[in-house]
Structure 1
Amino acid sequence: MARRHPHRRREGGLTMRLILASLFACVVGMLSDGPAFAQYPDKALRMVVPFPPGGPTDLIARVVAVGMAADLGQQVIIDNKGGAGGNVGTEMVAKSKPDGYTLLFGTAATHGINISLYKTLPYHPVKDFELVALVGLAPMALLVPAGQPTNLPDLIAKLKAEPGKASYPSSGNGTTNHLAGELFKTRTGVDILHVPYRGTGPALQDLLAGRHALMFATLGPVMENVRAGQLVPVGLMADKRSTVMPDIPTMKEAGLADFVGGTWNIIAVPAGTPANIVRRLNTSIYKALADPTLGERLKALNVEASEALTPAETKAFVEAEIEKWRKIVTMAGAQVD
């Protein structure tokens, strides 16, 4: 019987060892791509909202969290950490463990404006985060309570006739409604005092009580007040009218051109979160946003759900917004220590 050449046996053994080594490397690579690759998530997720309960960011986050939970098979618990224009909660997430279980529901303030508005910021909106997905966009409106002029020229004339006597509230220093108010002052020449609050809810309460002359806010939290006649939207800071409340004129129609602005929301996780987890969250977010029921709930909050963006596209969006708001901050001359 013919005998096999010993070199062939060694070559065959070497080939098999190489194949096994390659397979082992692939398995290790999959496992090293993130913790519990096939099991994430295996416990509840925490979504930090860097503003108090009851405001627009909180309301939108809770809608999206429900949709994500249904897809992920785990609870997505809202954790409100307000303060410093969103900086407190945002910094907390930036410094959290990058394991995919602590998420941030960021805004145009936390990730677009604050880097230009604050002299020192305890986080970087791009470098300290993996920017998972853009959720949606919502324009602001100029709102006045009962007793104030409901058209823009008359409102401006009244404010100019009483310089320094009127005030406007915001949800905190550095937020979009604060910056909109400062831009309004610059563009119209009115002298009006800014009063910051810890969130939109408390600011609205004092606006409704007549303690302030006006406020800039997204329509979601105030729609019932508008429908009840307690607040009147003078103009919408958008290029076109709202599909939810089409009777509200744009600011251009009201008499102030090139006065467009609002907020948007993103979901982010700490920098260093494994790529497979970032992709899983991105998929979950856009699956939730594609649900018609969730879409209607967001529309009721005057939020236009975003088209699906990759994490890289989300990062590019945020970087562009940082530059846009940098110009607006400079124009308004706003600064927060």
Structure 2
Amino acid sequence: MSRISRRTALALAGTAASLTAGAQSADFPNKPLRIIVPYTPGGTTDIATRLVAEPLARALGQPVVVENRPGANSILGVGVAAASPPDGHTMVMVLPAHAANATLQAGRMPFDPMALAPVSLVVQAPLVLAGSRHVPAQNLREYLEYARARPGHVNYGSSGIGATAHLAMEDLQLRTGLRMVHVPYRGTQPALADLMAGHIGLMFDTYSTLKPQFEAGTIRPLGIATARRPQFAAELPTIIEGGLPDFVVSSWCMLLAPPRTPQSILDRLSAEVGRIVREPAMAQRLEDIGFVVEGRNSAETWAFLQAEVTRWAGVIRTANVRVDN
């Protein structure tokens, strides 16, 4: 039997891979799908995922199962997705922690976070800055002046090191020159309880999380980190209005697929997700929760993720944010 050159062998292998990917795309979907949520049930990510999963199942003609795999600031669940077959039947819904991990956990993860394939940026959830009513300040400018006059003595809380709420506050400090003390909690609720009790002075979180306490009068709304006031929080001034130019920060929910998932499958999934979230009744439901509807395509999602990785890498390095492993 004659021998073939290495170049010919590689070309044949590439052709075979293309044919296999084409066959997978034509046959997609041929079994139930799963969306991994790398967080516990009941949170913002879980809610957004479950809202999308049911209509996605109807659109694709296959069941869509939501599987919660929390742990290690999303690394556990994302790792499961990264190791899954690249056939479009497994996705993972990530938050900005995924973008932060690219820097915070560089070289220490069992997978490359930027190797996963982009499906869709589904929604964004703008962050809101909340202040303790135990602080003698009425608005954002007064809170910042209060903290500026007490360097190293005002505490702020977050749901954990590297969380969006933590990095947003580090960004705020870098922009204003403030020096505050970070108190990381295991989740949002204990941080919120301490904000109400006056043990910490400030915290960022999503509007849907903070809204009940705003309405109850137990914490003070200081500003929303959007370019303009969203319809669902029209009563809240933006942080930009409070004197911090261009301060825009959101949590977000993004669907990713395993590395090497065929582009035709990514395009099919992103098109379906975009149609689902922009459908008027669904869009209204999401906005009522405090989401800004996105439904971006695969290419737009990839560009957004790269920009977020770059943004938070700058904050992490400048503020010297570290995690203990």
TM-score norm. by structure 1 comes to 0.79
Cα distance, 1:39 vs structure 2? 5.8
Residue of structure 2 aligned with 1:88, choices 66, 69, 76: 76
* CA pair 94-202 structure 1, distance change in 2 beyond 3 A: farther
Residue of structure 1 aligned with 2:22, choices 15, 20, 33: 33
- 2: distance between equivalents of 1:195 and 1:53? 24
- 2: distance between equivalents of 1:51 and 1:203? 18
- 2: distance between equivalents of 1:275 and 1:34? 13
1:245 aligns with 2:228: no
- 1: distance between equivalents of 2:47 and 2:147? 32
Flag structure 1 segments of 5+ consecutive residues without an equivalent.
Answer: 1-27
Decide which moves more: 95-104 or 211-220: 95-104
Cα distance, 1:262 vs structure 2? 1.6
Tell me, yes or no, if the aligned pair for 2:29 and 2:62 is still in contact at 8 Å. no
1:130 aligns with 2:117: yes
* CA pair 179-66 structure 1, distance change in 2 beyond 3 A: same
- 2: distance between equivalents of 1:258 and 1:31? 47
Tell me, yes or no, if the aligned pair for 1:238 and 1:260 is still in contact at 8 Å. yes
1:50 aligns with 2:38: yes
1:140-151 paired onto structure 2 within 5 Å: 140-148=127-135, 149-151=137-139
Task: Return the letter of the residue paired with 2:31.
Answer: D
Task: Return the letter of the residue paired with 1:159.
Answer: A
* CA pair 334-136 structure 1, distance change in 2 beyond 3 A: same
- 2: distance between equivalents of 1:80 and 1:165? 38
Tell me, yes or no, if the aligned pair for 2:158 and 2:166 is still in contact at 8 Å. yes
1:126-150 C-alpha deviation (Å, 9 max, x unpaired): 22x1111121223211112332333
1:291-330 paired onto structure 2 within 5 Å: 291-306=279-294, 308-309=296-297, 311-330=298-317
* Other-structure match for 2:224: 236
- 2: distance between equivalents of 1:91 and 1:42? 22
1:93-112 paired onto structure 2 within 5 Å: 93-110=81-98, 112=99
- 1: distance between equivalents of 2:157 and 2:38? 18
SS of 1:114's equivalent in the other structure is helix
Residue of structure 1 aligned with 2:181, choices 193, 197, 218: 193
Residue of structure 1 aligned with 2:103, choices 93, 99, 116: 116
Residue of structure 1 aligned with 2:126, choices 139, 143, 165: 139
Number of corresponding residues = 306
Decide which moves more: 147-156 or 159-168: 159-168
Cα distance, 1:178 vs structure 2? 0.9
Cα distance, 1:268 vs structure 2? 0.7
Cα distance, 1:177 vs structure 2? 0.8
- 1: distance between equivalents of 2:78 and 2:18? 31
* CA pair 334-271 structure 1, distance change in 2 beyond 3 A: same
Tell me, yes or no, if the aligned pair for 2:273 and 2:295 is still in contact at 8 Å. no
- 2: distance between equivalents of 1:308 and 1:153? 35
* CA pair 132-39 structure 1, distance change in 2 beyond 3 A: closer
- 2: distance between equivalents of 1:197 and 1:94? 28
* CA pair 260-102 structure 1, distance change in 2 beyond 3 A: same
Between structure 1 and structure 2, the one with the greater Rg is 1
Cα distance, 1:302 vs structure 2? 2.1
SS of 2:268's equivalent in the other structure is helix
Tell me, yes or no, if the aligned pair for 2:278 and 2:295 is still in contact at 8 Å. no
Tell me, yes or no, if the aligned pair for 1:54 and 1:201 is still in contact at 8 Å. no
